[in-house]
Amino acid sequence: MRSPQLRRLQTASFSQWKESIARSDYRRLCITVSGYEARARHWAESSVGVLPGAPATEWLVAGFTDFDGKLSRQENDRFYKSMGVGTVSCSSRQKESFLESVKEAVRLAIERAGSSSIEVHVDYSCMPRLWYCRLPGLLEQALRIEDRVFFWYSRGDYLNVKYRTAGTSDFEVFAGKPSLSPRFRTHLLGLGFDRIRSLSIWSVLDPQQLVCFYPDAMGDEDYAAKMASEYADIFARASFTCRLPMQFFDSAYSQLRDLIRDFGTLGDVVLVPDGPKPLVLASSLATLTLKTPGAVCFHVSRRRTREFTPVDVRATGSVLGFSFRGAGGEGTRDDPPLPREPRGYTI
């Protein structure tokens, strides 16, 4: 699969997009999941009232076979059934079967649209990173240059969640290739609310130089206070800490590319993103699209033991998004390279 170029990448406003629906005649394909978290249906619940019905709007809903009777799963299924939409059963660990389902759904949507443009909407709030980090490249190549894809993320209420950490399992290379004998190595570690997991990742890395990045508070003082409290010990050991604007995906993506370039002048750069999905996705795509020698992005899977307990995360009501256009299988035909933006990250 080609590396995505993310043509015409921009942050998308959910409210503005909903307001624009009545003024547009696009056909739409909506891709989401039904899992055990209540927020798995939040984007669909917030959109279905303004979206036109079939055939103008089609749905692909993957129903996880993992924990399929737990927490909010049955309520999520009932919601999609009330819309007249069925679910496609799929294990969260079966990446290829899901991606093939997406390819086929997009092919049919384009075929039915004819000369009309289409929008593809991906709600990745509850998708595993095995899925959502591969979708931008797949969709960019499958869609025509007149089509557009939107990624949406419903923020979760984590402040009141009591996590039983899942720990770490395998470190898998998502993108890039390390040098054989680097003169220096910088690790960029993304942080979320699972402090024990982050400490576990940090202990495995044993970094020569550590840079931590995490989402800004978005005006939420409780959020900022919890991050400062949870990670005081890691922050004290880091050479740099960076706040990234999760609500502005294009800016976070650009800033991560700058971090890779800047620290890449010293030697290898190893990204290990964890925490909120928008920053995991931005980190993964930044490494994938830059192809900087010595830069590599690792994905760390969670260890699921018999004692693993799923957590029902509810949506806060805030939906973050970004969009880019299709490539029509034409590579970088008519787009100039993405310009390097001035640094906007806070160190």
CB 287 within 8 A of CB 295: yes
Residues contacting residue 74 through CB under 8 Å, at least 6 positions apart:
none
pLDDT at 233: 87
97 backbone φψ class: left, alpha, beta (φ>0; ψ -120 to 50)? alpha
Alpha-carbon separation of residue 222 from 94, 158, 227, 228 (angstroms): 37, 11, 9, 10
Distance CA 162, CA 105 (A): 37
Low-confidence ranges of the chain (pLDDT < 70): 1-2, 159-169, 303-307, 329-347
Q: Helix, strand, or coil here: 278?
A: helix
pLDDT at 202: 83
pLDDT at 331: 42
Strands of 295-300's sheet in order across:
171-176, 295-300, 268-272, 185-190, 209-215, 240-244
pLDDT at 201: 86
pLDDT at 192: 80
Q: Helix, strand, or coil here: 111?
A: helix
Residues contacting residue 174 through CB under 8 Å, at least 6 positions apart:
133, 284, 287, 288, 297, 298, 299
Distance CA 123, CA 41 (A): 9
Closest CA to 301 of 119, 130, 110: 130
194-198: long-range contacts (C-beta < 8 A, 24 or more apart)?
Answer: 194/163, 194/165, 194/166, 194/274, 195/230, 195/231, 196/163, 196/165, 196/167, 197/165, 197/166, 197/167, 197/168, 197/274, 197/302, 198/231, 198/234, 198/274
Residues contacting residue 270 through CB under 8 Å, at least 6 positions apart:
178, 185, 186, 187, 188, 205, 207, 295, 296, 297, 298
pLDDT in tens, 198-209: 888 888 888 899
Burial class from Cβ neighbours inside 10 Å (0-12, 13-18, 19+) for residue 134 reads buried
Outline where the chain has alpha helix (H): 14-20, 42-47, 73-82, 95-113, 129-132, 135-142, 195-205, 221-230, 232-237, 249-264, 277-290
Q: Could you tell me the two tokens for 23? A: 């003024």
